[in-house]
Amino acid sequence: MNDLWSRLKSITQLTTDGFKPYIEAVADSFGGKVHFAQLVKQYSTESLNKDGKPDKRERYIGAEKRVISGKPDLAKVTTSHVERQNLTMRTGIKRFTRKTNGFSKKVENHCFAVALHFVYYNFARIHSTLRVTPAMEAKLSKKPWKIQDIANLPTQYSILN
């Protein structure tokens, strides 16, 4: 949270899920300088299965938008973007896949795998909806990076030293 706050230039809107520790973390990092809301999903265990018998599995029944601080635009309160990003990570980084043999023995290697995924995803992969890479859309790059460009990053920036 502190790193995010240091990168922002103006008051922004932030949405989290209903995880209670987020409230204190956002307050500590942003103070009152954020429009903060939580999207709290609600579940029910009171339902019947197709045979008319009680079914104890949780079932999503809705969500409540809660204003925590500032004046967030409730029409923009959503966790869909981060949920989509989480799905992209789980499917794109096999270390996050359940029952995989592609796990990291060192936390540093895990961090490098995540960083590699994000560099490729944002700088090399052309997204069909954008027709360019996200980095090109954000004017951070003029052309898609090649795998060789990514492979040369550690020597260019000495991140491994």
Domain end point (choices 36, 55, 78): 78
- Could you give the CA distance from residue 159 to residue 161 in angstroms, rounded to a whole number? 6
- How many other β-carbons are positioned within 10 Å of the β-carbon of residue 160? 9
Indicate if 45 and 9 belong to the same structural domain.
yes
- pLDDT tens column, 29-45: 888 789 999 999 988 87
This prediction's pTM: 0.64
- Could you give the CA distance from residue 159 to residue 92 in angstroms, rounded to a whole number? 23
Domain end point (choices 33, 51, 78): 78
Indicate if 59 and 87 belong to the same structural domain.
no
Residue located via tokens 């069909």: 128
More confident residue, 3 or 80: 80
- How many other β-carbons are positioned within 10 Å of the β-carbon of residue 119? 16
Indicate if 35 and 62 belong to the same structural domain.
yes
Indicate if 9 and 59 belong to the same structural domain.
yes
Q: In the prediction, which pLDDT does 47 show?
A: 65
Domain end point (choices 56, 78, 100): 78
* Residue 33 host element (H or E): none
- pLDDT tens column, 42-88: 888 766 667 767 666 777 889 999 999 999 999 999 999 889 888 98
In b/e form, how buried is each residue of 25-63, taking b as 16+ CB within 10 angstroms?
ebeebbeeebbbbbbeeeeeeeeeeeeeeeeeeeeeeeb
For the chain, how many structural domains are there in total? 2
Q: In the prediction, which pLDDT does 154 show?
A: 76
Indicate if 19 and 65 belong to the same structural domain.
yes
- pLDDT tens column, 96-147: 776 667 777 788 888 888 889 999 999 999 999 999 999 999 999 999 999 9
Indicate if 8 and 73 belong to the same structural domain.
yes
Backbone angles phi, psi at 67, to 5 degrees: -80, 125
Indicate if 90 and 72 belong to the same structural domain.
no
Indicate if 117 and 135 belong to the same structural domain.
yes
Q: Which domain holds residue 103?
A: 81-157
- Could you give the CA distance from residue 11 to residue 35 in angstroms, rounded to a whole number? 7
